[in-house]
Amino acid sequence: MRTAIRSFLNLNPGMDSLVILGTYSAYIFSLTVTLGLVKGEAFYEASAVVMAFILLGRYIEARLKLRTGEAVKKLAQLQSRSARVVRDGVEVEIPIEDVRIGDLVRIKPGERIPVDGIVKEGSGYVDESAMTGEPNPVEKSPGDPVYAGTTVLRGSLLVYTTRVGNDTVLGQIIRLVRIAQNSRPKIQGVVDRVSGIFTWIVIAIAISTLAYWTLLAGVPLSTAIIFVASVLVIACPCALGLATPAAIVTGFGRGAELGVLIKDASVIDRVHRIKTVVFDKTGTLTVGKPGVRIVKPLGEEVDERDVIMLAAIAEKRSEHPIAQAIVEKAKDMGLTIKDPEAFENIPGQGVIAWIGGRVIAVGNDKLMRGFEIEIEGDVKRISEEIMNEGLTVVYVAIEGRLIGIIGVGDAVRPEAVEVVKRLRSSGYRVVMLTGDKERSARIIASRIGVDDVIAEASPEDKAEAIDRLKSSGGVAMVGDGINDAASLSKADLGIAMGGGTDIAREAGDIILVKEDLRGVVRAIELLKAIRRKIYYNLFWAFIYNVILIPIAAGALYETAGLYLRPELAGIAMAMSSISVTASAQTLKRFSG
């Protein structure tokens, strides 16, 4: 009541104002009949029933709204209240607010990890499904990152704390989702303007209804009051107002559950314009980490283990990514890597190391020529085959004799082919945009089914390429949230591969928490589903008012003798709001 009066005084009447006008007009008219001031039929029950159904509708709507925000609640429930910290060799359980960066936190099987950090000791399997959507447990060992809100299924971990509270990835996700759920697409601005004048239109219709039935049609005043009350009660700007936010809150919450963080609702206005999806190569279409892909021993007296072991000994002290990939391969093979007696780095060529009085050379063909080793015949053929795979060729020689060839390169993400195929089948043009060499880029592109390649592009070149592509329609850019910031911001839709970094600071409209390219398709389809749901809800909310307001005003009374009593109008109004909110709930079933 107070809200309705206040809104009238502010010349901004809303749904409450219409309900109060309708019920009180029916009540006051009934009171005048009871007092004998006018003749007609009293219908006190209409006011009571209308208010009862309005309150029931509000209750059901509130319950549905609570369900709409369940996704954020579930995420918030993953936050721990305490942590078991190891201090001076003693385990102490303290409130999570007292945990500091650098603290060592012990997590036992079945417990939730309370902080972001790095595994210091122990190993085990962690369930990250609640945050990333990944159903399979992830193995963790010393040096691996772990995140707050995930659960240790097996094993015990001692974790070095790097982030706590709202600074954890989980805390950032919750904050981003809440901000995004309160953001508004352009369509909401249009709806707000329509809703703003809608109430005045309804009041004008109610006055016109009263004038027509009393002055022109000559029906009893009691009948005209029924029509007026029904018009005021049945009109529902609320359904129009709920159509967009209900879909956004539910859809964005579902996205968070699937590891797709939508940072702003304005992307809903742009997703339907997307014609081209552009991918960065390194770290997006590929895993972003060099690895040993091919090992070719040369000669019957050596095998793969010999080649890798000698190469790892030579590369052990090098910090070059290729050197680290070879050392990592040796560790994976269970090899013992001895320390070289001496080590020399030859810039642009490779490394030379000495062990047991013997010299090992690991590097490119230029380094080999320095040892009078010629790359010809079968060796040249094998080298070209490796290069045709888009890999870097590394030669391994000992005492001036070539014993093996190693192919090192970035691995294509296993889901890349499937994602490119799905996008192309949906009518999108797929482009690779990379700073890598043309030959390497085209080899990777052909392997995953991408025809359009823009290679050897600087960050500035990438941004300019996005501008050119936009001349043919909307562009979605998928890349690293930091390195590709310029091109992500230029695109109509920027999608950043999160990977557990500082997601709140990353560029891009959407962040994929889980480094899985299938999230790109999932994100685009989710945005389209939210957009369809918004327009679906708006359509039916509009149709509801267009059809039922004339009926409430008595459009069928003269021809068919049918009219809508205020009680039924109240039920219809309540159901319209409930149906819009319930319709948005179907987005919770989205799987992508």
Residues forming the active site: 280
Whole-number Å distance between alpha carbons of 377 and 396: 17
| CB crowding 39-62: b at 16 or more within 10 Å, else e | ebeebeebbebbbebbeebeebbe
3-state helix, strand, coil in the chain (%, to 5): 50, 20, 25
Whole-number Å distance between alpha carbons of 431 and 452: 5
Whole-number Å distance between alpha carbons of 369 and 465: 41
**Helix H or strand E encompassing 347:** none
Whole-number Å distance between alpha carbons of 131 and 113: 12
**Token pair in block for residue 156:** 């015990």
Whole-number Å distance between alpha carbons of 528 and 590: 11
Question: What DSSP string runs through 211-253?
Answer: HIIIIIS---HHHHHHHHHHHHHH--HHHHHHHHHHHHHHHHH
Burial of 125 (0-12, 13-18, 19+ CB in 10 A): middle
The sign of the dihedral angle between the CA atoms of 534, 540, 542, 545 is negative
**Token pair in block for residue 152:** 């240790």
Burial of 376 (0-12, 13-18, 19+ CB in 10 A): exposed
Whole-number Å distance between alpha carbons of 561 and 110: 69
Q: Are 277 and 429 in contact (CB under 8 A)?
A: yes
Question: What DSSP string runs through 449-511?
Answer: T--EEE-S--HHHHHHHHHHHHTTSEEEEEEETTTTHHHHHHSSEEEEE-TTS-GGG--SSEE
Q: Which of 121, 249, 248 is nearest to 186 (CA)?
A: 248
Whole-number Å distance between alpha carbons of 311 and 298: 14
Whole-number Å distance between alpha carbons of 213 and 305: 97
